[in-house]
């Protein structure tokens, strides 16, 4: 498999390390980075223009660079008949973009995949949706520093938080919009289940924890579901969990190319 990356950060680094150990399966041909990205996270070349990556004929491109990257490149990638793995699922809270990608995947016979990220239980949620999934709730708890820079936290003094404090309570769509680097789990859950506007999300800042916690509760005709995840943060980026990178690797293992 010839793999391209969009991103040159913590998740790209983890995926690159995996591919380095599995060169018989996957070769990273190149990546797209920022103008400020001078050094690649691997031995592959790094570009600032997507056409340079297309010239290397990747079979699959993995996006791990944020919502803006999905908005900028996703439809273009699919229109080049290249499969795409999207980790910044919060971008798909934009209904127009999501429908556009669905349309392009049909028109150009390309596919886009949404890894499970740092949350377990999405397979059960998809099954429950078939008949009578009624309520879905997600609580995500991270250290205050993990929420720094989020539009939804701009009026919150994160440094002053001494105990667990709810900083957001609302829909998955609003969570994705206000906390774009932290709410990919909420967006993936919403797409698997009852939708962006029906999925309830609570975001919590807690200085007294070490890991990222996700608590999922769902109710329906199937019964009740509760899932708890205690996820180790990425060493290079506390906004995301190491499990998110592992979910991309798992997705790549499943691809039939």
Catalytic residue among 44, 80, 96, 214: 214
Six-digit token string for 213: 């916690």
Q: Which residue has the higher pLDDT, 28 or 19?
A: 28
Q: What is the tally of structural domains in the chain?
A: 2
CATH code (residue 208)? 3.30.360.10
183 and 207 part of one domain: yes
CATH code (residue 50)? 3.40.50.720
209 and 226 part of one domain: yes
Contact 212, 115 (CB under 8 A): no
251 and 211 part of one domain: no
- What is 205-224 written as a DSSP string? E-TT-SSEEEEEEEEETTEE
Non-local CB neighbours of 223 within 8 Å, separated by 6+ positions: none
Q: Is the pLDDT of residue 257 over 60?
A: no
Taking the CA atoms of the chain, what radius of gyration do you get in angstroms?
18
93 and 15 part of one domain: yes
Establish whether 214 is a catalytic residue.
yes
Q: Which domain holds residue 18?
A: 2-117+243-256
Give the predicted TM-score (pTM) of the model: 0.90
100 and 144 part of one domain: no
100 and 137 part of one domain: no
pLDDT tens-digit profile of 2-23?
Answer: 999 999 888 898 899 888 888 7
pLDDT tens-digit profile of 65-109?
Answer: 989 999 999 999 999 999 999 999 999 999 999 999 999 999 999
């Amino acid at each position: 498999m010839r793999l391209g990356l969009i991103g040159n950060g913590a998740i790209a680094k983890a995926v690159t390390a995996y591919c380095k150990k599995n060169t018989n399966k996957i070769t990273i041909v190149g990546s797209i980075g920022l103008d400020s990205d001078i050094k690649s996270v691997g031995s592959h070349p790094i570009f600032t223009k997507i056409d340079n990556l297309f010239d290397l004929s990747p079979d699959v491109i993995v996006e791990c660079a944020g919502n803006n990257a999905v908005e900028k490149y996703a439809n273009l990638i699919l229109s080049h008949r290249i499969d795409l793995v999207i980790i910044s699922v919060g971008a798909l809270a934009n209904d127009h973009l999501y429908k556009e990608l669905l349309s392009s995947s049909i028109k150009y016979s390309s596919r886009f995949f949404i890894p499970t990220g740092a949350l377990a239980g999405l397979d059960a949620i998809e099954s429950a949706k078939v008949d009578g999934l009624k309520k879905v709730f997600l609580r995500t708890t991270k250290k205050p520093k993990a929420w720094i820079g989020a539009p939804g936290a701009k009026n919150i003094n994160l440094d002053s938080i001494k105990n667990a404090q709810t900083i957001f309570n609302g829909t998955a769509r609003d969570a994705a919009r206000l906390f774009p680097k932290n709410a990919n789990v909420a967006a993936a859950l919403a797409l698997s289940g009852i939708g962006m506007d029906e999925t309830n999300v609570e975001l919590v800042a807690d200085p007294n924890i070490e890991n990222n916690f996700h608590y999922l509760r769902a109710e329906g005709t199937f019964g009740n579901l509760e899932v708890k995840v205690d996820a180790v943060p990425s060493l290079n980026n506390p906004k995301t969990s190491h499990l998110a990178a592992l979910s991309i690797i798992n997705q790549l293992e499943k691809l039939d190319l």
